[in-house]
Each structure stands twice: as C-alpha cells, then as structure tokens.
Amino acid sequence: MRDLGLALALVLVIEGLLYALFPRLMHKLMTYSLSHPPSALRWAGLTAAAVGVGMVWVVRRVA
C-alpha cells in the first residue's frame, strides 16, 4: 500500500511540474487530445499502462 501511495504522489508531482513549467505545451496536448476519437485515447492509455506495468515488473525483478 505504501508503494501505491508513493507512486500516486510521484504522478502528481510530475504532472504538476509539467503544467507549471510547460503550460502552453500542456494546453496544446489537451487540444490535440480533444481532436481525436475516444477509442484512440483509450488505446494510448492502455498502452501507457501496459508499459508502466512492465517497467514496474522489471524494476522489481532487478532490485
């Protein structure tokens, strides 16, 4: 449970920094995402989640 809390906190830190440091880029990304169908965004999200799970698995196995 501790790892999950740390992971969520890290996501918030990274996302917050992106919005704070690159507001124009983040606005462009939001506009870009609105111009694509939900199915494309769903596949991108599932792909990112799968890559993240794979990375966690590799790090856990190596460490």
Residue 1, pLDDT > 90, answer no
- DSSP conformation class of 35: T
pLDDT score, position 48: 96
What's the whole-number mean pLDDT along residues 50-58?
Answer: 94
Structure tokens at 43: 């596949």
Task: Return d(Cα 22, Cα 14) in angstroms, integer.
Answer: 12
Say what the pLDDT of residue 43 is: 98
47 pLDDT more than 90: yes
**Angle, CA 20 vertex, CA 19 and CA 25 arms, to 5°:** 45
> Is pLDDT above 90 for 62?
yes
Per-residue pLDDT reduced to its tens digit, 6-43: 999 999 999 999 999 999 999 999 999 999 999 999 99
And the tokens for 59? 């790090």
